[in-house]
Amino acid sequence: MSKVRKTAGVLLLVALLVAYMRSSESTKRYVKHLLKQVQYLPYRYFI
């Protein structure tokens, strides 16, 4: 089960990476901008 999960996880990551690589410059800029703030979301949710 854990092997299936791992494989699914890796495939998802690869799919996201491919989607990112194939996206427009505008989308890349947007994603980068949002990713920088993801680390704060658990705190922001509660404030």
Q: Is residue 37 within the footprint of another protein (CB under 8 A)?
A: yes
Residue 21 C-beta: closest distance to another protein, Å: 16
Tell me which residues in 2-31 interact with another protein (CB under 8 A): 24, 26-27, 29-30
Q: Is residue 44 within the footprint of another protein (CB under 8 A)?
A: yes
**b/e sequence 10-33, b meaning 16+ C-beta within 10 Å:** eeeeeeeeeeeeeeeeeeeeeeee
CB 24 within 8 A of CB 32: no
Per rule CB under 8 A, count of chain residues that contact another protein: 16
